[in-house]
Structure 1
Amino acid sequence: MRSLRQRGAVLIMVLWTAVVLTVLVTVLATNIRLSATTAMHHKTGSQDLAAIMGALSRAEMELIMERMPVPVGQEMTLTETGEFRIPMYRFNGQSLQLNYTSDDNITIRVFDHAGKINLNRIPRERLQLLIEKQLGPSFDPRRVQELLAAWSDWTDLNSLLTPGGAEDDYYQSLDPPYTPRNTPDLDSVDEIRLIRGFDELFADVNLDAAFTVYGSAAAVNPNLATREALLLLPGVDEELVEQIFAYREQRDFRTIREIGEIVPLEKMVELSPWLGFNTSRYYSVYVHPAMEEQDSQAGTDNQESAEQRVQDNRAYMQLMEVVSAESRARVFKVNPYAVLPDVAPARAEDPLATGTSSIANN
């Protein structure tokens, strides 16, 4: 009996030992698998970061090259219709084909800030028009004046309260409290959300896509304008934005008269004071995976969903200034998770090709 008990005890010990060893082997295998997965993700992350940094460097080089003098005797590249396209107008958010070889899995988009509304150069009367359009056709004039007063108090050089405005007492009562700037220029477009009433006014607007605080120009270049900026301008609706995008996919706007070819006269009166044709030296460079563009080429059935993915994507963004061909770009802002502006292709046909321009309609 004693021998049987001893054998039973040994069997139990063997079974427990087997269980413990099984658990140890399972834990060890799990740790090894997790370590391998972590190492793979680390390697992939490093490769992705290297690809992004390389793409940003190539975009910077492209911008620097555009500042170089055109060699004497160089032939101009013409479109299929025989038109010369202004190279600097490529920097309007379209997917770029660079002079230097780039990664096929990476898309590079450059936005010239001449295509945005400059908050530091907007006159009071234009700001009022911007506010009125954003509030809608049934806006309250008193609300407009309150917003203008709040803007004035934020950007003036004193702490005196404008009637209907907001100064230190109001901002110190908030949670958390802060102090109004009391200087004319904003440091960033996000600062507009700190001004009383403006956070609500532009709650549904991608501020980085619509506005800028860089440069000296007050006008918006229609060849470079983002959808977000155009939609804020007086006289512009979604249909007109798509016609502008369709037009500039085929040719450049060079004069106000050419814009008038697709913009009805009554809207042109409101819109023309906002427009100009200068470029700037400030650019937002976005780098993101090219998957959605590959999908969009698979067929028209997938185009809408592909465009939606582009709009929903976030991208690595650098805001840079390129002054000349003799120096590197100066980087002002980096955002690894920036919201990509609306970069979908024109959702309308070329208005000149289809005869839907304002001139044709008149």
Structure 2
Amino acid sequence: MIAQQRGAVMIMVLWTAVVMTILVTVLAANIRLSATTAFHNKAANQDYAAVMATMHKAEMELMMERMPVPVGQELALNEDGEFRIPAYRFNGQPLTLNYAADSNKVVRIYDHAGKINLNRLERSRLQLIIEKRLGDGFDPRQVQELLAAWDDWLDLNSLLTPGGAEDEYYESLETPYTARNAPEMDTVEELRLIRGFDQLFADVNLDAAFTIYGTGEAVNLNLATREAMMLLPGLDAELIEEIIAHREQTDFRAMREIGEIVPLEAMVELSPWLGFNTSSFYSVYAYPARDSSADQDTGRDSEPAANALPDDPVQQAYMQVMEVRSFNNRARIYQVNPYARLPDTTPARIDR
């Protein structure tokens, strides 16, 4: 009897020990998970704070650009002794700010004068873009249907243009919506809502190629993104790389300088699209640096192979679209995207 009691007590003790061990293990795991979560939350908050601080310094950089140049300040010169136009550095190259950002942060600023303005795009110019996207041997009827759908989307009525699309078509889709029926778009991604345009620009980073901000119609090749240049008549991939290689060393100041790179026949198509304007609208990207080539800070000294991958492996970044009109007023923020897709940041893909 005593032996049975002792056995029962031993079993209870063992079970108690097992239960306590399980409870301690679960509690330790919960504490570890909580500690890990707290650590990562702290790191994320610190990183967000650093990114926002970098954005504010980038805003200050844009405001300072509108200040009068101090007397005696030395201007940056190229190898030929010509001064570089400071405003043209906002073409997406990694920047060293006057108010230095965190050494672990990369800042890229894109002036919207380097993009095609959808809200200032004439129908005839849109037709040229459509034809280039469709490629040689395009069907003229398809071009006219796309133009009709564009007209119906932006006109002020619900009357159907022959070959176009109005509410009846859009409301029949799996996710129904109605046509804008207003002359200006609210976002560049709205372009994908127009019948046929999502397929037409399926592989295009629209935010990199287009803008809806500002009143300018011309595209400045000193500031232009690859995505925008790929849509311009007269330019092919090889010419685009030559243009980028040229502007990495010096600025385009006149059409004749562009004509030294672009053949005459292509220049006839291209020149009506071009200007040397800047804008007051910018897409500002900030993100933590990743491992990359040693020339990441300048973006000017690398010699990548023709098929080289981007020297910056980061493809997404925190982005703000801001308008900066003067040095004594803060920027006006129009758009915020914490996970924006970066434009193509690769240096010129040519052998030099």
Q: TM-score under structure 2 normalisation? A: 0.94
CA RMSD of superposed structures (Å): 1.9
Contact 1:295 1:306 in 2 (8 A): no
Superposition pairs of residues 180-191 of structure 1, within 5 angstroms: 180-191=179-190
The residue number in structure 2 matching 1:197 is 196
Rounded Cα–Cα distance in structure 1 between residues aligned with 2:166 and 2:316 = 36
- Which amino acid is 1:309 matched to? P
SS class of match (2:120): coil
- C-alpha separation in 2, matches of 1:152 and 1:75: 51
Distance (Å, rounded) in 2 between the aligned partners of 1:228 and 1:129? 16
Listed as ranges, the matches of 1:273-292 within 5 Å are 273-292=272-291
Matching residue's letter, 2:337: N
User: Partner amino acid for 1:115?
Assistant: G
TM-score normalised by length of structure 1? 0.92
Which residue number corresponds to residue 345 of structure 1? 347
Aligned partner of residue 152 in structure 2, secondary structure: helix
Distance across 2 between alignment mates of 1:79 and 1:293: 25
Quickly say closer, same or farther: Cα 1:127–1:103, change in 2 above 3 A: same
**Does the 8 A contact of 1:243 with 1:349 survive in 2?**
no
> Which residue number corresponds to residue 355 of structure 1?
none
Name 2:338's counterpart in structure 1.
Answer: 336
Residue pair 1:246, 1:349 contacting (<8 A) in 2 also:
no
1:72 is displaced (CA, Å) by 3.5
Unaligned stretches of 5+ residues in structure 1: 351-362
Amino acid at match of 2:80: T
Task: State the shift of 1:206 in Å.
Answer: 0.3
Shift of 1:288: 1.5
Unaligned runs of 5+ in 2: 297-301
Larger CA deviation: 232-241 vs 103-112: 232-241
The amino acid that maps onto 2:33 is L
- Provide the residue aligned with 2:316 in structure 1: 314
Shift of 1:81: 3.0
Change (3 A) 1:300 1:212: closer
Identity of aligned residues (%): 68
In the alignment, which residue of structure 2 is the partner of 1:233?
Answer: 232
What CA distance in whole angstroms lies between the structure 2 residues aligned with 1:169 and 1:282?
36
- Is 1:154 the equivalent of 2:153? yes
Higher mean alpha-carbon deviation, 138-147 vs 72-81, is at 72-81
Alignment of 1:211-290 (within 5 A): 211-290=210-289
Q: Distance in 2 between matches of 1:249 and 1:319?
A: 24
Residue 67 of structure 2 corresponds to: 68
The residue that corresponds to 1:353 in the other structure is: none
Displacement after TM superposition at 1:332 (Å): 0.5
Q: SS of the counterpart of 1:273? A: helix
1:155/1:183 contact within 8 Å kept? yes
Aligned counterpart, 1:327: 329
Distance 1:274 1:305 in 2: 29
Aligned positions of 1:97-136 closer than 5 A: 97-136=96-135
User: Alpha carbons of 1:14 and 1:300: their partners in 2 closer, same or farther (altered >3 Å)?
Assistant: farther
In the other structure, the counterpart of 1:19 is 18
